[in-house]
C-alpha cells in the first residue's frame, strides 16, 4: 500500500538570486513538480523557505529547471528576535503577522507593540526569511519617509494631504503590500477578461491575479511595480488604473455606467430608427438595381455606413484594437458580421452584373438592426449590472465625508481623510461616527445594527469603543480616534466584501477556460460553415454563405459565459453581507453550499459566552482571601470568557484582589488551564479536571461538590496549590435564545451538527439535549478538535467549523469552511473563510442558505449560457435547413445575442430578493422584536 509523501518545511540555500523575479522562477519550477508547494525567498541572504512533498531527486529537478542551485540548510535552533515593523496599528495587525509566521513555524511565538513598531518573535526561521514574511503580509521594515505613509497602506488610509498623495503606489517601486486592485477599461466580453488574465498570469513576479468581468476590476498580488502591471495590461489593448478609494471608485463606476447607458440607448435609437423601416420595406419590395432606384439604395448604403461609423463605432474600434494586439473579442464578431453584410450589399449594388440573379440580395437592414439590438441589449445589461452592487453601496453610504475635530481647543469640520489617529472628534445627535475610537467625554446611545444586527441602540460612555458608520441617536460625545480609513471595522468589512465579490468560485473555471478560446473558435466555425454552404449548399450559394457566416458570428455570445459566475457571486456575497455574513472568497461561498457536517464550539457559540460564577467551594481550612487573590493573579492575563467571569466575580467579592501580586512562570496548557508559581515557589493551577488529573492531583476532597455542579450543568473550574485541590468554582453560561431554532434550520438542510467542548460530560450532555445536537464530545483539547475534523473528513464529510477563540484557529484552518464569530479573536477571524458579524449560530444557517441559493443561481446561468451557445450556433450555421427550408436571419441572431447576457444578469438579480428560510424568525427570537421580512424565496 503506497502513501503520498509527507510535505515538509525546509530552509534551503541557493546562489545567484538577485530579486523576487528570480524567486518567482524557482517557484514556477517547484510548482511544476509539486502543485501544492509553497515558497518564500530572501534574495539578500540567498535563502529560500520551501514547503513541499518532493524528495532530494525532486528538488534537484527544480534546481535544474530553474537554473539555481538548491541545498538544504543546516538545522537552526530557535532564537528570540526583535524586528522593527512599520504599518502595525493594533493587535489585529500583530495577529495577522502571527498567523503568517506560524503558517511556516507552528511552534513560533509572536507578540508585538504596534505603538513602538516592534515585533517580538521566537522561531527557528532565519531573520531574513522572517523579514520577508513580514513584507509579504503587507508591512514595511523601514520607517516611511517624512510625508510618506506608503508603509501604512495595508492597514489604514492616510490622514493628511501629504499622506493622501503618498497613497498612490510609487511608479518606481513594487506595490507596498503586494496586493493591488485595478479598475479596468475597454473590456467588452469574457474573451477580453481571458486575455488580461493570461497576460497577468504570464508576468514574472505576479503571484496571483483575478480579473472580474462583472465589476471590471482586477485583484493582483505581486512584487512588481504598479507601472509594470498597468503597462502589461495596456500592451494588450486595455486600460487600467489603481483603485485608491473604494467609495470614489464606485462613484466613478456609476457615472461611467450612466454615460455608457445613455450612449448605448442613443446608438440603439439611431440604428433601429433606420433599420426598422428598412426591414419592413423588405417584406413588401425587392430592391431594384437599375436607374434611380439603384441610386436610392446607394444613398441608403452610405447612410448605413454612417450608422456603422457612429452608433457602431465602438464595435469597430474595439475590434481593430484587438486585431492590432493579435486578439479577438465579441466586438470582432459583431464587426465582422455587420461589416460583411454591408460590404456584400454594396458589392451587389455597384457590380450587380457579377452576381447571379438569385444572389442579388441587400442586407443593409441586417447591419443596422444588429448594431441597434446589441446596443439595446448592452444598455439593459449595464442597467441590470448596476443593481448588483446595491449591498456594497449601502456599506459605502455608511461612510461619512467629514468629521468635526477638536484641535487646539477649537472645533473645525475637516475631510475625513485628514483625520489623524489621536485626534478628538465631537459627534452630535443624529450624526454618523466617521472613524473608530474610544469615548473620552459624554454619554449617548449608539445604533450599531449595521455591525451587530441588534436593532436597539446601546449605551456608550467614557471608556467605551465606538465604530465608524454607526449612528449617534441621542446625546453628544467626544472620542479619541484610534483607527481611520480602511483600518476601521467598517473599512475592513467593505474591503472584505469587495475582495469576495471579485473572487471566482471554482465552478466558474470551465467557463473561464472556454472564454479564452471562444471567439477564435466561433470565427473558425463561421468560416467552415460558410465554406460548406458555398461548396455543397443549394443556390444561391453566395447568399446562403453570407447569411450563415453573419448569423454565426452575431449569435455567439461570450458575454453570457463571462457573466454567469461573477455576477451571481457579487450579488450572493452582497446578500450575505446584508445578513451579517462576511464571505472571504468565492471558494468559501461554494464550499459552504456542499457542507454535510458542522462542528461547533459550546461557549460563545451555542451559549451567550458571558458565563457567571454561581457557586464557590473551598477545602476546609483554606482562606477565602488567599484563594480569591491567587485566582485573580492566575486569570488576570487571560481573555477567555470563563476567566472574565471569574475576575468579575472575584472583584465584586474582594476588590483588593486586583492589587494582588502577579505570579511568575505562567504556562497556558491549551484546552486544560493555566499554572504559575508564586514567590514562595509554590505551583498554582486552575483548569479542568483533566489538567489536575494529568498532574496526579486527587479530586476526592471536593468530589461531592464537583458531581453536584456537573449534574446541574455547571462548568467546573478547579484550583490546586502544589499537589492538593483547594477550591472549585461553578459557572453557568445560558444558551442563546435562537440556538435551538438555528440547529433545527441546519438539520433542515441536511447537516449533521457535532458539538466539541472542553467542558465536562454532564454540561455537554445537557446542552446537546436542549439544543437538539446530533452528537457531542466533552473534555476535548484544541488538538482533539483538529483530529475530530480530520476524522469526519476521512469519513467523506465536507466539514464546517464554528469558533471564536485563538485555540479554534487550527481547527478553523483544517475545516473545509471555517466560520468565525465576529466577536471572536482576530486570529480566528483571519483563519476562517466566513465571518459572522452577529454572535449567533443562526448566521451559519443564513450563510449556508445564501451559498446554496447562489450556487443554484450560478448553475442556472451556466446552463443557460452554455445551452444558448450550443443550440444557437448550430441553428445559425443552418443545421435545421434540411427540415425547415429556412436559415436564421442575422437580425434574429443579433436579437438573441443581445438578450442572452441580459437574461443571465436578470436571473442573477433574482438573488437580491432571496431571504434565507427562517431568517426572519431567528432574528425575532434573538432580538425580541417582530420582523416583517419575507420568508425564504427560491432563487
- Which residues are known to be catalytic? 601
Which cell is 335 given?
Answer: 464587426
Q: How far is CA 305 from CA 270, 290, 300, 330, 339, in A?
A: 12, 21, 9, 20, 9
205, 224 in Cβ contact below 8 A? yes
Cβ(688)–Cβ(760) below 8 Å: yes
User: What cell was used for 739?
Assistant: 440556538
> Are 732 and 831 in contact, with CB atoms under 8 Å apart?
no
CA 152, CA 122: separation in Å to the nearest integer?
25
**Residue 885: other Cβ atoms inside 10 A:** 8
Q: How far apart are the first and last CA of the chain?
A: 47
- Written in H, E and C, the secondary structure of 349-388 is HHCHHHCCHHHCCCCHHHHHHHHHHHHHHHHHHHHHHHHH
Q: In whole angstroms, what is the distance from residue 84 CA to residue 413 CA?
A: 35
Q: Which three cell numbers stand for residue 929?
A: 422584536
Nearest to 487 by CA among 95, 138, 113, 155: 155
| Structure-block grid coordinates of residue 290 | 437599375
Q: Which set of grid coordinates corresponds to residue 373?
A: 439590438
C-alpha cell at 364: 443593409
Q: Element (H or E) spanning 555, and its range? A: helix 541-555
Please, are residues 332 and 523 in contact by the beta-carbon 8 Å criterion? Answer: yes
Q: For residues 409 and 438, what is the distance between their CA atoms, to the nearest angstrom?
A: 19
Q: What is the DSSP string of 793-822?
A: HHTT--EEEEE-SGGGHHHHHHSSEEEEET
H or E stretch covering 842: helix 842-876
Q: Phi/psi at 78 (nearest 5 deg)?
A: -60, 140
59 Cβ contact partners less than 8 Å away, ≥ 6 residues apart: 12, 52, 70
890-909 vs 541-555: helix crossing angle, rounded to 10: 10
How far is Cα 637 from Cα 668, in angstroms, rounded to an integer? 10
CA distance 201 to 216: 17
Judge whether 13 and 42 are in contact, CB under 8 Å.
Answer: no
Output b/e per residue, 319-348; b: 16+ Cβ within 10 A: bebbeeeebbbbbbbbbbbbbbbbebbbeb
Query: CB of 12 within 8 A of CB of 39?
Result: no
Q: What are phi and psi of 402, to 5 degrees?
A: -130, 165
Angstrom distances, CA of residue 325 to CA of 44, 187, 287, 318, 329: 38, 14, 40, 11, 11
Name which of 557, 439, 572, 448 is nearest 848 in CA terms: 572
Grid cell 449560457 in the structure block, residue: 865
Beta strands in 577-659 (DSSP E): 581-583, 597-600, 612-618
Q: Is the dihedral of CA 224, 226, 231, 232 positive or negative?
A: positive
Spatial contact of 139 and 154, defined as CB atoms under 8 Å apart: yes
What is the rounded CA–CA span in Å between residue 740 and residue 922? 10
Decide if 604 contacts 804 (C-beta within 8 A). yes
d(CA 216, CA 327) in angstroms, rounded, equals 19
Amino acid at each position: 500500500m503506497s502513501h503520498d509523501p509527507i510535505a515538509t518545511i525546509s530552509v534551503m540555500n541557493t546562489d545567484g538570486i538577485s530579486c523576487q523575479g528570480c524567486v518567482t522562477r524557482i517557484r514556477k519550477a517547484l510548482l511544476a513538480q509539486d502543485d501544492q508547494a509553497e515558497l518564500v525567498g530572501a534574495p539578500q541572504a540567498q535563502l529560500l523557505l520551501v514547503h513541499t512533498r518532493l524528495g532530494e531527486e525532486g528538488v534537484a529537478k527544480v534546481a535544474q529547471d530553474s537554473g539555481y542551485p538548491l541545498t538544504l540548510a543546516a538545522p537552526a535552533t530557535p532564537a528570540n528576535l526583535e524586528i522593527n515593523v512599520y504599518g502595525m496599528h493594533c493587535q489585529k495587525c500583530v495577529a495577522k503577522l502571527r498567523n503568517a509566521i506560524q503558517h511556516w513555524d507552528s511552534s513560533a511565538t509572536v507578540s508585538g507593540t504596534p505603538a513602538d513598531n516592534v515585533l517580538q518573535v521566537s522561531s527557528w526561521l532565519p531573520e531574513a526569511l522572517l523579514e520577508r514574511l513580514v513584507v509579504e503580509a503587507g508591512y514595511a521594515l523601514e520607517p516611511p519617509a517624512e510625508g510618506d505613509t506608503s508603509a501604512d497602506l495595508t492597514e489604514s488610509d492616510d490622514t493628511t494631504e501629504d499622506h493622501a498623495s503618498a497613497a498612490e503606489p510609487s511608479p518606481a517601486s513594487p506595490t507596498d503590500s503586494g496586493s493591488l486592485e485595478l479598475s479596468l477599461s475597454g473590456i467588452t466580453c469574457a474573451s477580453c477578461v481571458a486575455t488580461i488574465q493570461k497576460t497577468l498570469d504570464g508576468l514574472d513576479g505576479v503571484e496571483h491575479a483575478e480579473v472580474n468581468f462583472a465589476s471590471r476590476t482586477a485583484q493582483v498580488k505581486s512584487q512588481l511595480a504598479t507601472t509594470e502591471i498597468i503597462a502589461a495590461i495596456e500592451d494588450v489593448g486595455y486600460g487600467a488604473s489603481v483603485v485608491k478609494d473604494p467609495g470614489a471608485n464606485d462613484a466613478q463606476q456609476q457615472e461611467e455606467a450612466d454615460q455608457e447607458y445613455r450612449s448605448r440607448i442613443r446608438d440603439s435609437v439611431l440604428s433601429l430608427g433606420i433599420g426598422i423601416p428598412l426591414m419592413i420595406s423588405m417584406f413588401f419590395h425587392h430592391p431594384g438595381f437599375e436607374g434611380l432606384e439603384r441610386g436610392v439604395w446607394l444613398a441608403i448604403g452610405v447612410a448605413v455606413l454612417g450608422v456603422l461609423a457612429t452608433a457602431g463605432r465602438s464595435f469597430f474600434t474595439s475590434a481593430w484594437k484587438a486585431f492590432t494586439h493579435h486578439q479577438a473579442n465579441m466586438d470582432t464578431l459583431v464587426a465582422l458580421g455587420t461589416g460583411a453584410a454591408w460590404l456584400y450589399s454594396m458589392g451587389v449594388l455597384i457590380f450587380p452584373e457579377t452576381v447571379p440573379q438569385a444572389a442579388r440580395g441587400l442586407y443593409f437592414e441586417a447591419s443596422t438592426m444588429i448594431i441597434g439590438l446589441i446596443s439595446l441589449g448592452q444598455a439593459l445589461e449595464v442597467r441590470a449590472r448596476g443593481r448588483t452592487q446595491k449591498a456594497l453601496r449601502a456599506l459605502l453610504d455608511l461612510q461619512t465625508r467629514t468629521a468635526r475635530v477638536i484641535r487646539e481647543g477649537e472645533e473645525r469640520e475637516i475631510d475625513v481623510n485628514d483625520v489623524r489617529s489621536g485626534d478628538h472628534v465631537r459627534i452630535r445627535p443624529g450624526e454618523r461616527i466617521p472613524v473608530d475610537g474610544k469615548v473620552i467625554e459624554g454619554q449617548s446611545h449608539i445604533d450599531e445594527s449595521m455591525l451587530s444586527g441588534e436593532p436597539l441602540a446601546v449605551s456608550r460612555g467614557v471608556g467605551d469603543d465606538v465604530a465608524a458608520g454607526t449612528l449617534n441617536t441621542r446625546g453628544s460625545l467626544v472620542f479619541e480616534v484610534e483607527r481611520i480609513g480602511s483600518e476601521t471595522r467598517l473599512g475592513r468589512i467593505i474591503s472584505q466584501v469587495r475582495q469576495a465579490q471579485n473572487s471566482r468560485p471554482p465552478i466558474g473555471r470551465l467557463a473561464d477556460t472556454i472564454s479564452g478560446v471562444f471567439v477564435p473558435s466561433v470565427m473558425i466555425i463561421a468560416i467552415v460553415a460558410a465554406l460548406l454552404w458555398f461548396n455543397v449548399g443549394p443556390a444561391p450559394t453566395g447568399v446562403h454563405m453570407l447569411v450563415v457566416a453573419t448569423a454565426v458570428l452575431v449569435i455567439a455570445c461570450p458575454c453570457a459565459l463571462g457573466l454567469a459566475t461573477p455576477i451571481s457571486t457579487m450579488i450572493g456575497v452582497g446578500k450575505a453581507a446584508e445578513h451579517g455574513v462576511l464571505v472571504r472568497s468565492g471558494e468559501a461561498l461554494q464550499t459552504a453550499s456542499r457542507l454535510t457536517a458542522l462542528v461547533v464550539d459550546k461557549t460563545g457559540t451555542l451559549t451567550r459566552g458571558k458565563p457567571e460564577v454561581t457557586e464557590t467551594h473551598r477545602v476546609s481550612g483554606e482562606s477565602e482571601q488567599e484563594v480569591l487573590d491567587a485566582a485573580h493573579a492566575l486569570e488576570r492575563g487571560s481573555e477567555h470568557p470563563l476567566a472574565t467571569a471569574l475576575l468579575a466575580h472575584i472583584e465584586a467579592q474582594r476588590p483588593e484582589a486586583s492589587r494582588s501580586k502577579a505570579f511568575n512562570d505562567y504556562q497556558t496548557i491549551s484546552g486544560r488551564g493555566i499554572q504559575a508559581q508564586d514567590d514562595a515557589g509554590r505551583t498554582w493551577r486552575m483548569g479542568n479536571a483533566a489538567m489536575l488529573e494529568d498532574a496526579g492531583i486527587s479530586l476526592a476532597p471536593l468530589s461531592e461538590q464537583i458531581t453536584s455542579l456537573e449534574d446541574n450543568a455547571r462548568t467546573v473550574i478547579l484550583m490546586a496549590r502544589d499537589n492538593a485541590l483547594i477550591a472549585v468554582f461553578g459557572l453557568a453560561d445560558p444558551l442563546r435564545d435562537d440556538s435551538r431554532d438555528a440547529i433545527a434550520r441546519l438539520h433542515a438542510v441536511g447537516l449533521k451538527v457535532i458539538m466539541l467542548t472542553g467542558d465536562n460530560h454532564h454540561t455537554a450532555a445537557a446542552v446537546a439535549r436542549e439544543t437538539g445536537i446530533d452528537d457531542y464530545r466533552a473534555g476535548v483539547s484544541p488538538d482533539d478538535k483538529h483530529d475530530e475534523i480530520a476524522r469526519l473528513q476521512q469519513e467523506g464529510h465536507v466539514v464546517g467549523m464554528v469558533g471564536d477563540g485563538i485555540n479554534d484557529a487550527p481547527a478553523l484552518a483544517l475545516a473545509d469552511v471555517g466560520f468565525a464569530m465576529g466577536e471572536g479573536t482576530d486570529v480566528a477571524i483571519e483563519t476562517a473563510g466566513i465571518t459572522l458579524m452577529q454572535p449567533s449560530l443562526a448566521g451559519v444557517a443564513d450563510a449556508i442558505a445564501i451559498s446554496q441559493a447562489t450556487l443554484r443561481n450560478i448553475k442556472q446561468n451556466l446552463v443557460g449560457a452554455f445551452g444558448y451557445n450550443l443550440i444557437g450556433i448550430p441553428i445559425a450555421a443552418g443545421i435545421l435547413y434540411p427540415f425547415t427550408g429556412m436559415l436564421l436571419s442575422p437580425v434574429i441572431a443579433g436579437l438573441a445575442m443581445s438578450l442572452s447576457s441580459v437574461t443571465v444578469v436578470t436571473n442573477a438579480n433574482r438573488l437580491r430578493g432571496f431571504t434565507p428560510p427562517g431568517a426572519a424568525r431567528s432574528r425575532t427570537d434573538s432580538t425580541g422584536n417582530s420582523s416583517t421580512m419575507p420568508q425564504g424565496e427560491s432563487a
